[in-house]
């Protein structure tokens, strides 16, 4: 039977979160220390640990079938490759930063200024859309130090918390785009490998949907039941069960975690009591 070959970053946060996702999908990987290739014990999959920047070419060459990598890398080095699924972790921004004491009003202020970056294609495309031309100095690693040593006037790099910029006396002035981990694939897969990928996607979507949802149980007065139910669409509709106490019902439903506090406030305002909120491990739709 064919095995689906998946590439993940060799180390770092993206590596850890990628392997956590596969683990939550029920895939057990024999992962030894400093191993560059590993087999899944209970799923037709082989994992290859590669440098993030090399992964797009491995996909084009057919060495791997799918990959989990940062969208920023895909835009820079693999814009011809499809985004199969957005994974919602390893979020960051690709931004322009300048020294804190530098005056900045618009991108025009960077005319004739040197920009240090590991993302030359991304920077050129961004400047072209703005009708400007970038003077790029390509650097790999420690981009943020470039202005301090006189190598550039500005940088374009990934920004997560902003602490690295702060430590190097830089300020963020433009956001080129927001990035997250994505699942991408080779341009062509065999029919057999596509079947395996579809199974993997089903599991991933179940994990991601559960991660982004909360299970809610509450007690509702029957005279406000319609209003409360309207706030809780659930997967199809809420479950409503009568309580032993007359005039009250138990309502069970699912809400999006991003809307959580707003929904809870409205439920309380409509008379809901005894609200219990539980995490959801997986949601199979």
What integer pLDDT is reported at residue 11 of this predicted model? 86
Tens-digit pLDDT profile for residues 87-111: 999 999 999 999 999 999 999 999 9
Confidence of residue 33 (pLDDT cuts 50, 70, 90): low
Confidence of residue 32 (pLDDT cuts 50, 70, 90): low
pLDDT at 2 over 70: yes
Q: What does the pLDDT average to over 20-42?
A: 87
pLDDT at 161 over 70: yes
- DSSP structure string for 126-146: HHHHTT---EEEE--S-GGGT
Considering the domain architecture, whether residues 56 and 69 belong to the same structural domain is answered as: yes
For residue 67, what is the DSSP state?
E
Q: How far apart are CA 185 and CA 63, in angstroms?
A: 11
Domain boundary among 190, 210, 230: 210
Considering the domain architecture, whether residues 98 and 155 belong to the same structural domain is answered as: yes
pLDDT at 61 over 90: yes
CA nearest 117: which of 133, 88, 97? 97
Judge whether 33 lies within some domain.
yes
CA nearest 255: which of 64, 66, 241, 272? 272
- pTM of the shown model: 0.84
Q: What does the pLDDT average to over 61-74?
A: 96
Judge whether 190 lies within some domain.
yes
| Whether 87 contacts 21, CB under 8 Å | yes
What integer pLDDT is reported at residue 103 of this predicted model? 92
pLDDT at 48 over 70: yes
CATH number of residue 141's parent domain: 3.40.190.10
| Domain assignment of residue 104, given as a range | 92-179
Q: How far apart are CA 181 and CA 184, in angstroms?
A: 10
pLDDT at 77 over 80: yes
Considering the domain architecture, whether residues 34 and 154 belong to the same structural domain is answered as: no
Q: CB-based contacts of 116: which residues, under 8 Å, 6+ apart?
A: 136, 137, 138, 139, 143, 146, 147, 151, 152, 154, 155, 156
CA nearest 134: which of 178, 96, 94, 173? 96
Q: What are phi and psi of 279, to 5 degrees?
A: -70, 155
Judge whether 284 lies within some domain.
no
Q: What does the pLDDT average to over 9-14?
A: 89
CATH number of residue 268's parent domain: 3.30.70.120
Considering the domain architecture, whether residues 189 and 200 belong to the same structural domain is answered as: yes
What integer pLDDT is reported at residue 256 of this predicted model? 87
| Residue 87 buriedness (CB in 10 A; 0-12 / 13-18 / 19+) | buried
Q: What are phi and psi of 216, to 5 degrees?
A: -120, 130
Q: What does the pLDDT average to over 128-147?
A: 92
Number of domains the chain is built from: 3
Cα dihedral 104, 110, 111, 112 sign: positive
Tens-digit pLDDT profile for residues 184-239: 999 999 999 999 999 999 999 999 999 889 999 999 999 999 999 998 876 678 99
**Cross-sheet strand order for the sheet of 273-279:** 239-242, 248-256, 213-221, 273-279
What integer pLDDT is reported at residue 257 of this predicted model? 86
């Amino acid at each position: 039977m064919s095995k689906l070959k998946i590439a993940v970053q060799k180390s770092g946060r993206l590596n850890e979160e990628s392997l956590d996702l596969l683990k939550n999908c029920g895939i057990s990987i024999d992962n030894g220390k400093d191993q560059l290739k590993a087999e899944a014990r209970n799923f037709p999959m082989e994992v290859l640990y590669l440098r993030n920047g090399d992964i797009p070419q491995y996909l084009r060459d057919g060495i791997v079938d799918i990959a989990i990598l940062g969208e920023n890398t895909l835009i820079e080095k693999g814009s011809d490759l499809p985004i199969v699924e957005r994974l919602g972790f390893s979020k960051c921004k690709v931004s322009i930063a300048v020294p804190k004491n530098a005056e900045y009003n618009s991108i025009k202020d960077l005319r004739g200024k040197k920009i240090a970056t590991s993302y030359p294609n991304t920077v050129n495309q961004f400047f072209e859309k703005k009708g400007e031309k970038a003077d790029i100095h390509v650097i790999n690693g420690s981009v943020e130090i470039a202005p301090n040593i006189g190598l550039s006037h500005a940088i374009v790099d990934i920004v997560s918390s902003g602490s690295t910029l702060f430590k190097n006396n830089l300020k963020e002035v433009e956001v080129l785009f927001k990035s997250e981990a994505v699942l991408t694939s080779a341009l062509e897969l065999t029919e057999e490998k596509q079947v395996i990928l579809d199974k993997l996607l089903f599991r991933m979507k179940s994990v991601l949907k559960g991660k982004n949802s909360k299970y809610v149980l509450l007690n509702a007065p029957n005279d406000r039941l319609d209003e409360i139910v309207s706030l809780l669409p659930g997967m199809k509709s809420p479950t409503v069960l009568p309580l032993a106490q007359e005039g009250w019902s138990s309502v069970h439903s699912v809400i999006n975690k991003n809307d959580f506090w707003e929904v809870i406030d409205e439920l309380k305002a409509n008379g809901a009591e005894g609200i219990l909120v539980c995490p959801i491990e997986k949601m199979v739709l």
